[in-house]
Structure 1
């Protein structure tokens, strides 16, 4: 999962591990940190695969600067073209791709946006159906009506967030057409 973000971050220029850690951390959900124990082994693996190189330089102290190779750029483009799996990492992967849209063709940008749109439309349908079920449960189970009312309101938040995402996606697609 981090390969896409690390390679995408290096496309814009060489960076230190510290800078990459900040970039990856800011691309993830708030309060989710990327440890050095995850970042540096990932960078070292990418280096072994020939996707990045590193150089040590001294600027008051020793720093390791990471650089993407031509093979790394090619791998990044492949990752951008891959379909995002519908699993727990789906949202992170979509957000990583959205942050790197400028690195791929307009056709690929549209495909990524349309993939995101399909995910959100599916989510929206799920939330709307779940909300309908909770409304029905309020009537069928009056002893738990307050609990179901709270669930209806929670699903309303999910519905509004999904609709906002769809509005944003539609604008992005329209801007590219």
Structure 2
């Protein structure tokens, strides 16, 4: 998965490993996490497979820029064209079995999860404000339609999840 994400980000242009991590954190970070410990080995694999090229900058110590190669673009587009998959979330699996927990522990965990959801909702609202301002400065905002739609999905998802947690806490 991470390799495909990297290829997708490189479709925009050359990036350093640091810039890739920063972009992941500020965009898809709401539903996908990547550490430097997983990012750099993935970049190495992509380079070894001939999907990405790397250029070491002379004016900066240890800074490398990665660029997608035609074979990488081909592989990324093939992955992108595959049918969408429905994946399971761990929290749903755990809640499915919550009948086995005592009521106090259930309520504590559901409250904790509700607080996490609130934090994500506030984060999404902040990102939405930034994106709204940035789209005002873009020549063709429609060229970012699908990216913005994922942001809208994230916001709606967290709101729905918050309501669902509240309902199950109250046994509605």
Q: TM-score, normalised by structure 1?
A: 0.49
Contact 2:46 2:52 in 1 (8 A): yes
How far 1:59 moved relative to its partner? 2.2
- RMSD over equivalenced CA pairs, Å: 4.1
Q: Which has the larger radius of gyration?
A: 1
Q: CA deviation at 1:44?
A: 0.8
Closer, same or farther in 2 for the Cα pair 1:151/1:30, shift >3 Å? farther
2 CA distance for matches of 1:48 and 1:31? Answer: 28
Structure 1 runs not aligned, ≥5 long? 90-100, 104-108, 117-122, 132-145, 153-177
Distance 1:9 1:147, change over 3 A: closer
Matches within 5 A, 1:1-177: 1-30=1-30, 33-88=33-88, 150-152=170-172
1-side partners of 2:31 and 2:76: how far apart?
A: 26
Query: 1:87-133 deviations in whole A, cap 9, x for unaligned?
Result: 238xxxxxxxxxxx969xxxxx8xxx9xx9xxxxxx9xxx9xxx8xx
Q: Partners of 1:35 and 1:149 in 2: how far apart? A: 34
Deviation at 1:33, TM superposition (A): 4.4
Whole-angstrom CA distance in 2 between matches of 1:88 and 1:7? 24
Q: Kindly tell me the number of residue pairs found equivalent between the two proteins.
A: 111
Could you list the runs of 5+ residues in structure 2 that have no partner in the other structure? 90-141, 151-156
Query: Whole-Å Cα distance in 2 between the matches of residues 31 and 86 of structure 1?
Result: 14
Q: 1:60 to 1:147 in 2, by over 3 A?
A: closer
2-structure distance, mates of 1:23, 1:148: 35
Shift of 1:48: 1.3
TM-superposed CA distance for 1:80, in Å, is 0.8
1:136-160, CA deviations, whole angstroms, 9 ceiling, x for partnerless residues?
Answer: xxxxxxxxxx9857243xxxxxxxx
How far apart are the structure 1 equivalents of 2:48 and 2:22? 23
Matched residues in 2 for 1:18 and 1:147: separation? 41
